[in-house]
Amino acid sequence: MRHVIAIDQGTTGSTVLVLDEQLAVRGRGYQEFRQIYPTPGWVEHDPEDIWKSVQSALNQALAGDEAGGTAGRSGAEGRRGRIEPSSIAAIGITNQRETAVIWDRQSGASVHNAIVWQDRRTADRCAELKAAGKEARVRQLTGLTLDPYFSGTKVAWMLGNISSLGAPARAGQLAFGTIDSFLLWRLTGGGVHATDVTNASRTLLFDINELAWSDELLELLGIPKAILPQVVASSGTIGTTRGVPGLPDGIPIAGIAGDQQSALFGQACFTPGDAKCTYGTGAFILMNTGDRPVASRSGLLTTVAWKLSTGELRYALEGSAFIAGAAVQWLRDGLAFFTSAAEVESLAQTVPDSGGVIVVPAFAGLGAPHWRPDARASITGLTRGTTRAHIARATLEGIALQNVDILRAMERDAGRQLTTLKVDGGAAANNLLMQFQSDVLGVDIARPALVETTALGAAFLAGLGTGVWKDQDAVRTTWREERHFTPTKDRSRISEHLARWDAAVAKA
């Protein structure tokens, strides 16, 4: 039996899955790591923390079901013991996409903490570029808007604010990458500096029409080309392991995709018009738009969905809400409403509704289609009768209501109306949230049996790239629905709720 490892490096922790040829999970590991907040609006990670978390999760996953893995699609429990390293046929990587890292090519050590996608320190620089009339050209080349969310201005900030980096960057002594590039470098013992087209398309430096780094954009942001990684397809052997504890040398790393594109692939959204929403730290809706980019008229992003070794190229429209699961973490850690994030559902269910309370979870500004980095989170509609339960329920509702704005814009741009939205990610297990999402969107929600479709997509890309699986039909036939949610028929109540949401967003 051959196995594929999927490394899912997320914003708050790293997950590693070991899947067999039937796409059943044979081992699972997870490790959280520190979140660093140097000043309000700034968010950083120590790259060494990330690498250690991946190593820890990998060791857990290789221990098999005894480390917490499930026995497979049937859900039957089992104790298969440690995965034999020689059975690993390929490794796939999926990652938090816009987080930027610069490291020294000689030592492999990072020169600064990674600047996380949530970080807003470059808001002023983005505003300057907009005022200079650069946004239309940037959108034309990259499909993105000028926002501190993306990697390019983060890299420019590091090069511009750390005086010791300029000369070695121009000399090619430093390497820039998103987290996939950093992990690939470590997994190959410093042998490969590369990224795939999906991650490259999130940097503000990549021409998504030509599928190449843009000299024009590099000059605009003052970034030397010498620090950039090679851009490769999302599927196909990119490098092989060297010096990784617990793994033999020579295992192909054969799949890379940014987390949201990976989830789109793992949800078997292979047909134009197919869409999914991933509920992680943020919430992300992607729609497959086929082999040509669709320019958004509604403030959405146009991005590369994947490129296979066969040459198949797919694009997507994307709308992102920066905060989803992170809002529940705020209730847990900031307000001490409960000790485990999973408790939010039971607390919210103790009241029949949110009592008129609206939570706009704009802790990191508002993303698509508003693109207001200056927006701030708010709670409106409070009364003397408001309880923790009302605020907990309103927080879940706020997560779902952000997606209404995104999906409506997406439908306008794509010229089609969704009937079903596939969902995944940790918060997709929350039945209250999923039912409310169906209600306010007015579409069916399909939740798969394996909600870790981000990791599944990375595994499948790696397996496709090494011949473990023949074609996309393998994942299409494996996808299983666990639960279906249908919208409520009481649309008048939903319309009133949406009106309160619009009013609250206007004030955020």
How do residues 277-287 score in pLDDT, each as one tens digit? 989 888 989 99
pLDDT at 72: 39
Instruction: Provide the token pair at 339.
Output: 């000790």
How far is the C-alpha of 434 from the C-alpha of 425, rounded, in Å?
12
**H/E element holding 230?**
strand 230-232
Give residue 76's pLDDT. 36
Name the range with the highest mean pLDDT among 20-34, 390-404, 484-498: 390-404
Does residue 64 contact residue 81 with C-beta atoms inside 8 Å? yes
- pLDDT at residue number 284: 87
- pLDDT (0 to 100) of residue 65: 57
pLDDT in tens, 138-182: 999 999 989 898 999 999 999 999 988 989 999 999 999 999 999
d(CA 47, CA 114): 6
User: 422 pLDDT exceeds 90?
Assistant: yes
CA angle in degrees (0–180, nearest 5) for 492-496-500: 165
Average confidence (pLDDT) over 322-341: 94
Q: Does domain 3-258 have CATH number 3.10.20.440?
A: no
Percentage with pLDDT > 70 across the chain: 97
Domains in the chain: boundaries: 3-258
Q: Which of 20-24, 88-92, 475-479 has the highest mean pLDDT?
A: 88-92
Q: What are phi and psi of 257, to 5 degrees?
A: -160, 145
pLDDT band at 235 (very low <50, low <70, confident <90, very high): very high
Taking residue 500's Cβ as centre, other Cβ atoms within 10 Å add up to 16
Cβ atoms of 141 and 209 closer than 8 Å: yes
Q: What is the pLDDT of residue 471?
A: 87
CA torsion through residues 94, 100, 106, 109, sign: negative
Q: Which token pair is 200?
A: 């490259």
pTM of the model: 0.85
- Dihedral (C-alpha) 207, 364, 451, 463: value to the nearest 10 degrees? 30
The model's pLDDT over 176-192, given as tens digits with 9 standing for 90+, comes to 999 999 999 999 999 99
Q: Token pair of 127, please? A: 């505003």
Q: What is the mean pLDDT of residues 248-264?
A: 96
At 371 the pLDDT is: 78
Return all residues near 235 (Cβ < 8 A) that are at least 6 apart.
Answer: 254, 255, 306, 307, 308, 309, 461, 462, 464, 465
**Please, is 223 exposed, middle or buried when counting C-beta atoms within 10 Å of its C-beta (0-12, 13-18, 19+)?**
buried
Q: Whole-angstrom Cα distance, residue 258 to residue 202?
A: 9
Q: Residue count of the chain, please give it.
A: 508
How far apart are alpha carbons 294 and 296 in whole angstroms? 6
The rounded percent of the chain whose pLDDT value lies above 90 is 76
What's 280's DSSP letter? Answer: S
Tens digits of per-residue pLDDT, 350-371? 999 999 999 999 998 888 788 7
Q: How confident is the model at residue 376 (pLDDT cuts 50, 70, 90)?
A: very high
Residue 109: phi and psi, rounded to 5, are -85, 140
Q: How many Å apart are CA 424 and CA 124, to the nearest integer?
A: 34
**Predicted pLDDT at 425:** 85
Above 90 in pLDDT, residue 214? yes
